């Protein structure tokens, strides 16, 4: 496919010669053939000349859930990949929260086969333990060879510290990356929202910051003992940021992420008992929210994620106590992040993180493969149901004012708009 982008403003802080410059970009057979002030349209190319067209390297998301296999009513792989592409993402990591849970090499092969030949690249995470039960390590080495980029018991703590120790030691033999969800289940108990003034007022069982910070502290002590590579997904408290900052100063091989909704919303949004705001980790206090944003700006938090989790309506339209955790976030990721951080930082956050998972980062220059996201960063609009392409509609961003419109992506010699 041959494509000519006309008068596209390039947002690429890594390439100072092109950053914030307007250029025509000719893409032929999936490769950036030419970047120039003006390029005549070849007869066999599709010309794209959208209003206020901006272009960056393709975006990456480290925590995306669909449903297939087992929960296709939430989201299929095909539609999920379409949603990711039209939301600007060229590369996503798929969480292991299906049925069956992917804990063998054949499970990883199935997911990769279902997702191949698309404009958005899907990289599966394998379960760290068999059936994600936290008792016995899964086939980590075999799953790595089959294409798993890391290992994660999705949204579940590793209850046995010795098991985490063994996992970190074992994974070093093949440069494996271990995830550990930051929540102590015994401290959490039956809690479902942030423990504080709001939970007390609403009569909802709370999850104290301690539940997260105790787990983070434990995991960092184990990492310091064993060595290896650890990733802590979706932290949510101010003290977690401090703990990870100290670990990085010690030289530990640690990374972490934050869900975009934990940067935007707080526990005060729970006052209407809207189950779309029920997530794990929970929405925290304003002070936690501010600390997370500062942690991003300081570089302590490595990257952001939509933490996209489709949940069908039957599991959300119930009493708050009984509702399933999760919000979708792919479609609203850029519009919300752009408001919080501004354009350049938002793009920097959305394009970083691939190397942590052994994925090659794209490069914005002539002769390189075209892996690009097309967007308008200035259009402001209220996010509504018509903007949701996911099968499930459980978004806490509904009725929020967002800034930015996604036109689509160019990747793998395909145009997805």
Active-site annotation, residues: 307
Instruction: Give 337-343 contacts, CB < 8 A, sequence gap 24+.
Output: 337/260, 337/263, 337/304, 338/377, 338/402, 338/403, 338/404, 339/401, 339/402, 339/403, 340/263, 340/264, 340/293, 341/293, 341/296, 341/297, 343/11, 343/377
**What are the φ and ψ backbone dihedral angles of 403, each rounded to 5 degrees?**
-125, 110
| Alpha-carbon gap, residue 364 to 160, rounded angstroms | 44
Q: Let me know how long the chain is.
A: 417
**What are the φ and ψ backbone dihedral angles of 92, each rounded to 5 degrees?**
-140, 150
Rounded to 10°, the helix 286-298/343-351 angle is 80
Which residues 6+ apart lie within 8 Å of 70 measured at CB? 98, 99, 100
> Cis ω on the peptide bond leading into residue 238 (within 30° of 0)?
no
Half-sphere exposure of 296 toward its Cβ, with a 13 Å CA cutoff?
30
């Amino acid at each position: 496919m041959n494509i000519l982008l006309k008068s596209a403003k390039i947002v690429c802080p890594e390439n100072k010669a092109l950053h914030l410059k307007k250029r025509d970009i000719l893409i032929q057979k999936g490769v950036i053939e030419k970047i120039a002030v003006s390029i005549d349209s070849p007869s066999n190319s599709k010309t794209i000349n959208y209003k206020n067209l901006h272009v960056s390297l393709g975006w990456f998301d480290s925590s995306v859930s669909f449903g297939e296999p087992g929960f296709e009513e939430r989201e299929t792989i095909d539609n999920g990949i379409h949603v990711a592409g039209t939301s600007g993402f060229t590369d996503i990591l798929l969480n292991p929260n299906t049925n069956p849970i992917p804990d063998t090499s054949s499970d990883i092969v199935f997911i990769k086969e279902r997702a191949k030949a698309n404009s958005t690249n899907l990289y599966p995470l394998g379960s760290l333990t068999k059936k994600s039960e936290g008792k016995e390590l899964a086939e980590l080495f075999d799953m790595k060879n089959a294409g798993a980029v890391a290992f994660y018991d999705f949204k579940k703590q590793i209850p046995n510290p010795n098991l985490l120790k063994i996992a970190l030691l074992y994974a070093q033999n093949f440069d494996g990356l271990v995830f550990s969800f930051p929540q102590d289940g015994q401290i959490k108990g039956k809690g479902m929202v942030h423990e504080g003034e709001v939970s007390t007022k609403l009569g909802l069982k709370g999850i104290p910051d301690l539940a997260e910070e105790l787990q983070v502290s434990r995991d960092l002590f184990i990492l310091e003992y064993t060595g290896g590579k650890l990733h802590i997904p979706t932290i949510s408290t101010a003290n977690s940021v401090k703990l990870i900052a100290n670990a990085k100063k010690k030289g530990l091989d640690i990374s972490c992420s934050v869900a975009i909704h934990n940067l935007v919303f707080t526990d005060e949004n729970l006052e209407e008992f809207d189950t779309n705001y029920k997530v794990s980790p929970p929405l925290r206090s304003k002070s936690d929210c501010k600390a997370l944003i500062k942690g991003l700006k300081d570089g302590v938090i490595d990257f952001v994620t939509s933490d996209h989790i489709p949940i069908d309506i039957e599991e959300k339209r119930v009493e708050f106590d009984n509702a399933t955790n999760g919000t979708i976030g792919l479609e609203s990721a850029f519009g919300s992040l752009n408001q919080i951080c501004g354009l350049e930082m938002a793009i920097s956050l959305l394009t970083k993180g691939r190397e942590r998972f052994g994925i090659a980062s794209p490069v914005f220059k002539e002769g390189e493969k075209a892996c690009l996201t097309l967007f308008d960063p200035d259009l402001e609009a209220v996010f509504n149901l018509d903007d949701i392409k996911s099968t499930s509609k459980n978004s806490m961003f509904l009725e929020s004012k967002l800034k930015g419109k996604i036109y689509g992506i160019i990747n793998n010699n395909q145009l997805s708009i």
